Structure 1
Amino acid sequence: MQTNSTRMSMLSRFIGCTLILAQPVFAEKTEEPIAEASEEKTTGNSTNAWGGSLSLGYDSNFFQATDYRSSRALSFHGSLYFSFWESYSLYTNSGGYRTLQGAEGFYSTDTVVGLSKSSLLTFGESGNVSISGQFSIPTSQSSQDNFLNTAFRVQTPISFKLADIGITVAPRIRKNFHQYTTSPNGNVNISWALGLLLVANYTYGDAFFSASALGGTSINYNGRWADGYSYGGSLTTGYNLRDDLSLSLTLASSGVYTDAAQGTLGSFDIFDEAKATYSLGLTYSF
């Protein structure tokens, strides 16, 4: 049977996946739930100087409530940004969740503070390249348990349109700064993380749909690359109830791809019931 700490780690990851991969363009690596600033709101020819969002969700995996592997929680997430000059924004976001089974209690996710430039360069009719850099504040229990001091991540989203579908390709690199190179369980902590996010968005009236895929690998403090590649994905559908209020349903899953011996294909499960989750969310934007 899983320990409480293991279940909390799994729960934190899937809440991060459902909260963040559902957000187009700006998702964080699978190990940690982090989002970035929203795009600037415009009214006529003026640009709002600040904005943000508040989200409330019900998150669950697909095991029955009577199964010891079942994980259910109420989660929330908040973000705030301030735009200045022509295309720069300061942003911050954080969140948490309240477990409804097992070791019931409140748990925080990590907090992010960053700076983004929304239009680094443009290409074609709809192409745009932006860039962001952000620091992580270890407010989550898992980061504190691993003695993470902070982390810095750079991301360069490349966005364009194919017909009516918005596409974003976002490479990113992250550097962790731990107090110790090993975690309390004896594993060597991750020093560098490399990832690539792919997102497709489509809107039809007040309805919206998105698909996200996130993959990456890492290097630990001993300079060793991970044996495989972590990946995650999500499908989201939702409806804008009002201009500032939306309802969404997200299905997410994650896993690890490991090359088998002698060059044969390794294990790559698109949908793993043990790791799949769903989330019902309500988001208020301002």
Structure 2
Amino acid sequence: MTRTKATATGFVAVLLWALLALFTVGSAPTPPLLLNTLAFGIGGVVGLVWAAVTGSAAQMRQVPLRVYLFGTLGLFAYHLMYFSALRLAPAAEAGLIAYLWPLLIVVFSGLLPSEKLRAGHVIGAILGFAGAALIIGGGGTGLNTASLSGYLLALLAAFTWAGYSVLSRLVGDAPTASVAVFCIGTSLLSFPLHLMFEDTVLPATMVGWASIAALGLGPVGFAFYVWDIGCKRGDIQLLGTSSYAAPLLSTLVLVAVGISAPSMTLLWAALLITGGALIAARASFSENR
């Protein structure tokens, strides 16, 4: 697979992740750890099918344990924080903050061998964080304390996923199908913690169950396998900057279905985060000419 095809493959995950907030909201009132258990259980099955179809199941036995531990903890931590954030704060606003991870990927990737951080990446980062600050500050009306915990969890989630994506290049060369073990590990790790810390609350409607199934099949299933290919074989800076389409698409979906109300704060935050992406993307394109 060429670097260009791998980058395009990774971008399929971005399109699927644009639906992550929608399905997370639809899965309410399922608590975060239980949602991790159910969605990643489905995602793990998707991975096993992927391994069977691609003939890579045998390669999974050669993967070092440290790689499986790294992947499992990365998926577990990010989604626990993300699901919790969307339970504690407005979905569109928390989702936009969590979607700072593409910008952070660009910044962090500048630390990798053979990669270079340019001025455009830094400017894009400043704009992106300005958009997040606008949300947390309540659009200039004062600190939004009611949703602050959710916003902070979303910010931590962004740092976690960016770090996971960049460091995945350094922890070892593992087949993409090994992500199935990450998903199954996340599900198995989440279940006992759910029993310890949460009440079991399952969806009461078909919409809730369909949302959980859609999460497992798409944003926390197939998306990880194509993302893994993009991160390891594609242009990670270009992939990271192209990922800025996700926050705008995610916000538009939430507004279109009536989950989030349009507002000037939401508009400006989305424009700042997306604008930062465009500037950072231009810097990457200039570097690759």
- TM-score, length-normalised on structure 1? 0.27
Higher relative contact order (CA 8 A, sep 6+): 2
- What is the TM-score normalised by the length of structure 2? 0.27
Structure whose residues are more often helix by fraction: 2
